[in-house]
Amino acid sequence: MAFVFFMAALISSLLDSFIRGVILHDPTPVVGASGAISGIAAVAALLSPFSLRFNQRNIPFPVFLVAWIMVYSDITNVFTEDGVARWAHLGGFISVIFAAYFLKPTERKQLHSGFILNLIFIILTLILAFFYSNRS
Average pLDDT of the segment spanning 63-84? 90
Using one digit for the tens of pLDDT, what is the confidence trace for 49-59? 888 888 888 88
Q: Where are the chain's structural domains?
A: 2-133
Predicted confidence at residue 84, as pLDDT, reads: 87
Among positive and negative, which fits the CA dihedral 10, 16, 21, 26? Answer: negative
Q: Are 38 and 10 in contact (CB under 8 A)?
A: no
Quick one: pLDDT band at residue 13, thresholds 50, 70, 90? Answer: very high
Percent of the chain with pLDDT over 70: 99
Question: Side chain identity at 56, as an amino acid letter?
Answer: Q
CB atoms inside a 10 Å sphere around CB 19 = 18
- Exposed (0-12), middle (13-18) or buried (19+): which is 11, by Cβ within 10 Å? buried
Q: pTM score, two decimals? A: 0.82
Gyration radius (Cα) of the chain, Å: 16
pLDDT value at 136 more than 70: no
* Of the candidates 116, 115, 117, the residue with the CA atom closest to the CA atom of residue 94: 115
